[in-house]
């Protein structure tokens, strides 16, 4: 098994990484391969896993991810730092099984017709930092609305608990193959009108944003890309998925509860 370990550099994480390496070295057939791994183990937070996803996004179809958190339970991290022994044992004791979650495909088309593709795990937003963003929004090539405001955010189900949630979007279970679009401070008055609520589109649908601006900012999982001379941006669910090792995978609504409400022990 070819394994890569990706981690942040805080002291707690570095201790967990050292322990993890020692445990893995004792297992037969383990090769540390940061270039072409079968399994990527991340140690840190959700941000660490997002960075690792982008590092290996071209190989995402052949990789399984395992997230170890060294802080709070994350949305992409299942294991606690103190449970790495249990995690390494589980990795070698059974047939691999994965939980698969949708990814967002972003196609940026320039005025010259050039196409640039990006893949997001959480979301992509189109924004203007100063001045209002004006854009036409199409669903399946049909004009849906003329948007005016700070921007628009398109998120995956796993990304729905990130930036999308802060924008008032719904939290969506990641087994649903659906994309959500949430508005960022839209202008609504007698002249300009948008739907003013988040929408969730079906798996085979796509959203096209045609910005009426020479330049704007597009983010992909929080990373800023300055865009000039874009004709349109197409958003759809990618054919690719991210795969997480299923063993030890935490129930989605338990994560949501733990992150946003707080642990409770009451049972029905
Ligand atoms: P960052 O500082 O790495 O992350 C900001 C916070 O969002 C961190 O606490 C991170 O958790 C958490 N996070 C990341 N993905 C999440 C998810 N799917 N569900 C719930 N929480 C999540 O910020 P960044 O590098 O600029 O962007 C990374 C992601 O963070 C973005 O894709 C965006 O979804 C989210 N973000 C949200 C807001 C907001 O809500 N206003 C603002 C900026 C970024 P960890 O501490 O475990 O890494």
pLDDT in tens, 147-192: 999 999 999 999 999 999 999 999 999 999 999 999 999 999 999 9
Q: Is the CB of residue 219 below 6 angstroms from any atom belonging to ligand 1? A: no
Task: Indicate whether 151 and 82 sit together in one domain.
Answer: no
Q: CATH number for the domain including 12?
A: 3.40.50.10330
Residues 117 and 182 in one domain: yes
Please give the distance, rounded to the nearest whole angstrom, from the Cα atom of residue 142 to the centre of ligand 1: 32
- The reply to whether 77 and 7 lie within a common domain is yes
Q: Indicate the SS3 state at residue 166.
A: helix
* DSSP state, residue 27: S
In terms of Cα–Cα distance, which of 225, 208, 209, 229 is closest to 217?
A: 225
- Cite the beta strand spans of 70-178 per DSSP E: 79-80, 98-110, 115-120, 123-127, 133-139, 142-155
Instruction: Identify which of 179, 74, 172 has the alpha carbon closest to the alpha carbon of residue 123.
Output: 179
Look at residue 173 and give its three-state secondary structure: coil
What does pTM read for this prediction? 0.95
Domain that holds residue 56: 2-97+246-260
Clarify whether residues 234 and 112 are in a common domain.
yes
Note whether 54 and 167 are same-domain residues: no
Q: Is the CB of 41 under 6 A from ligand 1?
A: no
Q: What are phi and psi of 128, to 5 degrees?
A: -115, 135
| C-alpha to C-alpha distance for 15 and 1, rounded to whole angstroms | 23
Task: Kindly state whether residues 151 and 24 are assigned to the same domain.
Answer: no
The answer to whether the CB of 153 falls within 8 A of the CB of 147 is: no
Mean per-residue pLDDT, 101-109: 97
Residue listed under structure tokens 């805080």: 10
**Residue 176 covered by a domain:** yes
The answer to whether residue 126 sits within a structural domain is yes
The reply to whether ligand 1 has any atom less than 6 angstroms from the CB of 158 is yes
Looking at the structure, do residues 145 and 112 belong to the same domain, yes or no?
Answer: yes
* CB of 161 sitting under 6 A from ligand 1: yes
Rounded percentage of the chain residues whose pLDDT exceeds 70: 98
The secondary structure of the chain in percent helix, strand, coil, rounded to multiples of 5, reads 25, 40, 35
Half-sphere exposure of 175 (CA within 13 A, CB side): 5
Q: Give the pLDDT confidence of 182-230 residue by residue, as tens digits.
A: 999 999 999 999 999 999 999 999 999 999 998 999 999 999 999 999 9
User: Does residue 219 form part of some domain?
Assistant: yes
151 and 72 in one domain?
no
Does residue 266 form part of some domain? no
Closest-CA residue to 87 (of 65, 71, 109): 65
Residue 37, in any domain of the structure: yes
Ligand 1 pocket test target in 42, 43, 47, 160 with most atoms within 8 Å of CB: 47
Are 115 and 56 in the same domain? no
Torsion sign (Cα): 116, 122, 128, 134: positive
Q: Are residues 177 and 231 in the same domain?
A: yes
Q: Which of 46, 78, 221, 245 is catalytic?
A: 46
CATH code at position 214: 2.60.200.30
User: 215 and 130 in one domain?
Assistant: yes
- Is 190 among the domain residues? yes
Instruction: Please indicate whether residue 266 is annotated as part of the active site.
Output: no
**Do 6 and 91 fall within a single domain?**
yes
pLDDT over 90 percentage in the chain: 87
Work out how many domains the chain is built from and give that number.
2
């Amino acid at each position: 098994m070819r394994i890569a370990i990706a981690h942040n550099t805080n002291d707690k994480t570095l201790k967990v990484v050292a322990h993890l390496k020692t445990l893995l070295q004792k297992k037969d057939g383990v090769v540390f391969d940061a270039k072409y791994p079968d399994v990527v183990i991340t140690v840190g937070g959700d941000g660490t896993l997002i960075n690792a996803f982008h590092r290996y996004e071209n190989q995402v179809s052949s990789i399984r991810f395992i997230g170890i958190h060294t802080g709070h339970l994350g949305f992409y991290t299942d294991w606690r730092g103190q449970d790495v022994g249990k995690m390494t044992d589980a990795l070698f004791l059974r047939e691999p099984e994965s939980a698969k979650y949708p990814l967002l495909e972003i196609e940026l088309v320039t005025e010259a017709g050039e196409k640039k593709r990006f893949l997001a795990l959480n979301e992509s937003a189109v924004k203007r930092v100063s001045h209002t963003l004006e854009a036409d929004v199409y669903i399946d090539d049909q004009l849906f609305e003329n948007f005016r405001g700070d921007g628009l955010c398109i998120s995956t189900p796993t990304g729905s608990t990130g930036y999308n949630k802060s924008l008032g979007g719904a939290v969506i279970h990641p087994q649903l193959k659906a994309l959500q679009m949430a508005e960022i401070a839209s202008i609504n008055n007698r002249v300009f009108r948008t739907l003013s609520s988040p929408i969730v589109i079906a798996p085979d649908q796509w959203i096209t944003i045609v910005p009426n601006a020479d330049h704007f900012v597009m983010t992909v999982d929080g990373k800023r890309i300055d865009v000039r001379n874009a004709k349109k941006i197409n958003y759809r669910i990618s054919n690719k998925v991210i795969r997480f090792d299923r063993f030890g995978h935490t129930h989605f609504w338990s994560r949501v509860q733990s992150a946003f409400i707080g642990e409770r022990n009451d049972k029905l």
